[in-house]
Structure 1
Amino acid sequence: MKRPNIAVIGSLNMDIVVKASKFPAAGETIQGDEIHFVPGGKGANQAVALARLGADVSMVGAIGFDSFGRTLLASLADSGVNNEYVKMAEQAPTGTASITLTPEDNSIVIVSGANAELRAADIKRAEAAIEAADAVLLQLEVPLETVEYAAELAEKHGKLVILNPAPARKLPDSLLRRVHYMTPNLTELAVLTGVDPGTDGDGRALEEAMDALLALGPDFVVTTLGAEGAAWKVKAGGSLARQPAHRMKVADTTGAGDAFNAGLAYGLCEGRGISEAAAFAAQVSALAVTKFGAQDGMPTMAEVAAYFQGKGG
């Protein structure tokens, strides 16, 4: 199979992760157990995951002139991602995500920082990377007009467009019509369509919501269902299909969705059909949750092959 070449356009964040026994009440100060500074951001996570699988990857994004930005650039380079199209924003710090983890739940506060400074002009400067790519992988943690322009440029060069619509928001029809593969979770699917898919991903409600999204433009919708795996449907017709999740010992679920999107993009650009690509994405996502840290947990192709060899996918 061919080696995929993928341009990832999106966010880079430093995740500041604090582990504690509980969340503080309003006005309360508590003692935390651990703190970690972990390279993150949906765009960077997906770029690193793709590079570890063996793809040629160019990251297009923005960071600040600070130590967090330097660390994020180094993380990309260490994983084999081309970071020449990462902009150094003069007017904003590197984006951050402040994450509190307790045994029961987590809370996250994101400050976009330099991610909000990624402009259409920055995408234009990366046109050579888009022209060379098999696919362009997008998310929604950078300005929407930037995402729209990236999709336009991808369409101009005849590239596959994959959109992970996170965080959830309504999207213009002009963007949806340029997307080949849309990968929402259940919450994002509901926001995009106004149709409640249910909470468990089961039954007719899910299919109705996916049909509503397909009617807006994408050729394929692949809905991630957490511990229940994923489901997909094709605009051209056919019934809802499913990919079960693999049961793993979970260390950190932070990068699971990003790993799935990377695996799906990799499989599609290798020339696999949607069923085989989704099965591969489920494998990548399963291994990603077994290690701490969104980027540190992304598996290599050798790790995926070794773990799932003989397991029947």
Structure 2
Amino acid sequence: MSTIYNQRKKIVVIGSSNTDMTVKAQRLPIPGETILGGTFIMNPGGKGANQAIAAARLGADVTFISKIGNDLFGIQALETYKSEMIKTEYIFTDNQNPSGVALISIDSFGENCIIVAAGANMSLSPQDINKAFNSIKEADVILIQLEIPLDTVEYAVDMAYGLGKKVILKPAPARPLSVKLIKKLYAIVPNRVEAEILTGIKVSDEKSAHKAAQIISRKGVGNVVVTMGKNGAFVKEGDACRWLLAKDVETVDTTGSGDVFCGALSVYLSEGYSLMESVAFANTAAAIAVTRIGAQSAIPFRYEVDIT
């Protein structure tokens, strides 16, 4: 049963804060090649930050747990989160390491390649998670990714699971995950590349997505959402499986669209909607985001996401 939207649900996002430095060109360079004619844009980013802002714009009361450097990028990021009405008391400052940076190249089809220098993100520790215990205890949904140390992810998931919270994991950057961790998740949301790394199955269509979702689910998580970009998402909700198509839009930039999807998914789930309903909402939010350039600048607001 769904709740009333104006009763803002509490979501805690645990993850990375980066600054995205993006160059858009006709095509991506091959190794050793220099391409002229690109357009440069600098925006705040990071999977954690993107998901936090998405959840906030789409209607949640968001607390963000992260770590930034004591530098201009960190200061600017913090001001951005405050302007989005995100609670920032658990964004910690690392005086030894710089803020995270992502170098992004985008081609004329909207496809991208990304290199991340994690910086302060990799010093977010279990001790930092302990400081945010009360916020995690009060949350309706916990959303987390893998751009922070894996032991911190495992510690946070263990804490949230012990408190009976719904934990959603975006397994990016993809890496092998323990069954112990997966069993404590409410849902896992890999894209097709991440699903392949987790299962060894090359995901290219509904049949292969179904097979990958089944393999992941057998590790102990009941809900698996394999996102397939412009083709939509394959959803395994308990024993029910369904392919949900994405809206047909003109893609400009896919950067951060997976994070918008996860933020939207967590918001709708927190409001009492089913996983299927939440994926439909997330598909719509992500479809809007890919028609705009940038990560956080592309994130839609709730009033823009019409799923009727």
Range of TM-score over shorter length = over 0.9
Deviation at 1:24, TM superposition (A): 5.0
User: What is residue 75 of structure 2 aligned with on the other side?
Assistant: 70
Contact 1:197 1:207 in 2 (8 A): no
TM score, norm. by length of structure 2 = 0.93
1:107-186 counterparts in 2 under 5 A? 107-186=113-192
Deviation at 1:3, TM superposition (A): 2.1
Partner deviation per Cα, 1:216-263 (whole Å, 9 max, x = no partner):
01120011011110011134x23x212110011222211211111111
Q: Relative contact order, CA 8 A, sep 6+: which one is greater?
A: 2
Q: Which moved more, 1:59-68 or 1:103-112?
A: 103-112
Deviation at 1:208, TM superposition (A): 1.9
Match of 2:13 among 8, 13, 30: 8
User: What is residue 215 of structure 2 aligned with on the other side?
Assistant: 212
> Could you tell me how far apart the structure 2 residues matched to 1:251 and 1:77 are?
28
User: What is residue 298 of structure 1 aligned with on the other side?
Assistant: 299
Contact 2:66 2:91 in 1 (8 A): yes
> Could you tell me how far apart the structure 2 residues matched to 1:245 and 1:222 are?
13
User: What is residue 88 of structure 1 aligned with on the other side?
Assistant: 93
Match of 1:232 among 230, 235, 242: 235
Root mean square deviation, CA, Å: 1.6
TM score, norm. by length of structure 1 = 0.92
User: What is residue 245 of structure 1 aligned with on the other side?
Assistant: 246
Contact 1:9 1:136 in 2 (8 A): yes
Deviation at 1:94, TM superposition (A): 0.4
> Could you tell me how far apart the structure 2 residues matched to 1:6 and 1:73 are?
18
Deviation at 1:107, TM superposition (A): 2.9
Partner deviation per Cα, 1:177-203 (whole Å, 9 max, x = no partner):
110101011111121123x1432x222
Identity %: 41
Contact 1:184 1:222 in 2 (8 A): yes
> Which residue type is aligned with residue 279 of structure 1?
A
User: What is residue 197 of structure 2 aligned with on the other side?
Assistant: 191
> Which residue type is aligned with residue 19 of structure 1?
K
Q: Secondary structure at the match of 2:206?
A: coil
Contact 2:223 2:237 in 1 (8 A): yes
Deviation at 1:28, TM superposition (A): 5.2
**Is there any run of 5+ residues in structure 1 with no aligned partner, and where?**
none
> Which residue type is aligned with residue 45 of structure 1?
N
Contact 1:192 1:213 in 2 (8 A): yes
Q: Secondary structure at the match of 1:147?
A: helix
> Could you tell me how far apart the structure 2 residues matched to 1:261 and 1:249 are?
21
Partner deviation per Cα, 1:109-162 (whole Å, 9 max, x = no partner):
210101111100011111111011001101011000000000011012111110
> Which residue type is aligned with residue 234 of structure 1?
E
> Which residue type is aligned with residue 297 of structure 1?
A
> Could you tell me how far apart the structure 1 residues matched to 2:33 and 2:190 are?
36
Partner deviation per Cα, 1:241-292 (whole Å, 9 max, x = no partner):
1211001122221121111111111111100011111111111111111222
Contact 2:203 2:212 in 1 (8 A): no
Contact 1:65 1:88 in 2 (8 A): yes
> Could you tell me how far apart the structure 2 residues matched to 1:220 and 1:27 are?
42
Deviation at 1:35, TM superposition (A): 1.4
Equivalent pairs counted in the alignment come to 302
> Could you tell me how far apart the structure 2 residues matched to 1:274 and 1:35 are?
38
Structure 1 residues 287 and 27, CA, compared in 2 at 3 Å: closer, same or farther? Answer: closer
Contact 1:197 1:208 in 2 (8 A): no
> Could you tell me how far apart the structure 1 residues matched to 2:289 and 2:97 are?
31
